Amino acid sequence: MPKLTITNLTNSPYDLEGGVRLPAMGIVTEEFTDSYAALLRASPGIEVSEALHDAAGFDALSDAELRDLVEKETGKKPHPAAKRETLIEKLEATNG
Per-residue pLDDT tens digits for 9-54: 999 999 999 999 999 888 888 889 999 999 999 999 999 988 765 5
What DSSP assignment string belongs to 20-52?
A: EEE-TT-EEEEE--HHHHHHHHH-TTEEEEE--
At residue 79, the pLDDT reads 93
Q: What's the rounded Cα separation, in Å, for the pair 54 and 44?
A: 26
Sequence spans of domains, the chain: 1-51, 54-96
Q: What's the rounded Cα separation, in Å, for the pair 68 and 58?
A: 12
pTM: 0.56
Q: What's the rounded Cα separation, in Å, for the pair 15 and 33?
A: 15
Which of 30, 42, 34 shows the shortest CA–CA distance to 1? 34
Q: What mean pLDDT is predicted for residues 70-81?
A: 88
Q: What mean pLDDT is predicted for residues 68-78?
A: 87
